[in-house]
Amino acid sequence: MKNPTKSKGVDAKGTEPKNLEAKPVAAKGAQAPGAAPTTVVGRGATDQEALSTSIDADGRNAVADALKVALADSYAMYVKTLGVHWNVTGPSFFGLHTLTDAQYKELHTAADVIAERIRALGHVAPASFSEFRAASCVDVETPHKSTPEMLKELVADNEAVARRMLEASNIAEDNDDKFTEDMLIARIGVHEENAWMLRASLG
């Protein structure tokens, strides 16, 4: 037989328990009410880390934003130059194939260096085609064209990117980021040289 004193709302001594207010339990990974916000760096998270470097926070933000554009341009140039490398034809095939081989490989390395500098400044490096497409001045969606037309586009693209690298280097200079300034000045030289070699190949 069940003990009647064990019924709901009554304890073993026959007295009703105190009304205990249930406290909400935060879900795993959720932030407790009133707690300070947590900064998480990653895809879709806050795009800035707390750092203490020779460059102040505002300067890091400005330089990182400029570098994200430089990264987008470099990656777009890598993709477009690689496409020319694959599809070049004609009597100058071997020379152009070799030239664009060296250029696209250098651009791939450059994109990696720029992305790592963005990370060193405490920001997340963009890593999606949509982000690169939105930020870059280089059109990588153009249909296949003749070899001379592709080379002319690469010349114009390299010159445009060189000008944008100059703008980015000026932002780095304004914010006393000497390392980034020097890196971007070097990129200007690379793109201007690439444009010259491609232009000379057109005859």
Please give the pLDDT value at position 143.
84
Q: Is residue 18 part of a domain?
A: no
pLDDT at 53: 74
What is the tally of structural domains in the chain? Answer: 1
Say if residue 119's pLDDT is above 90.
Answer: yes
Residue 33 forms part of a structural domain? no
Give the range of the structural domain holding residue 155, as residue numbers without chain letter: 59-137+145-201
Give residue-wise pLDDT tens across range 69-82: 999 999 999 999 99
The domain that holds 154 is classified in CATH as 1.20.1260.10
In this structure, of 16-20, 81-85, 96-100, the range with the lowest mean pLDDT score is: 16-20
Look over the chain and give the mean of its residue pLDDT values, rounded to a whole number.
84
**Residue 22 counted as domain residue:** no
Q: Does any domain span residue 85?
A: yes
Asked, for residue 19, whether it belongs to a domain, the answer is no
Tens digit of pLDDT for each residue in 185-197? 999 999 999 999 9
State the Cα–Cα distance between residues 5 and 2, nearest whole angstrom: 9
CA atoms within 13 A on the CB side of 166: 9
Tens of pLDDT, residue by residue over 167-186, are 999 999 999 999 999 999 99
Is the separation of the CB atoms in 76 and 174 below 8 Å?
no
Residue 49 counted as domain residue: no
- Stretch 5-28: mean pLDDT, rounded? 44
* DSSP one-letter string for 71-117: HHHHHHHHHHHHHHHHH--STTHHHHHHHHHHHHHHHHHHHHHHHHH
- CA nearest neighbour of 81 among 114, 113, 105, 109: 105
Burial classification of residue 179, based on how many CB atoms lie within 10 Å of its CB (0-12 exposed, 13-18 middle, 19 or more buried): middle
Does a structural domain hold residue 189? yes
pLDDT tens digits, 92-114: 999 999 999 999 999 999 999 99
Token pair listed for 128: 């999606």
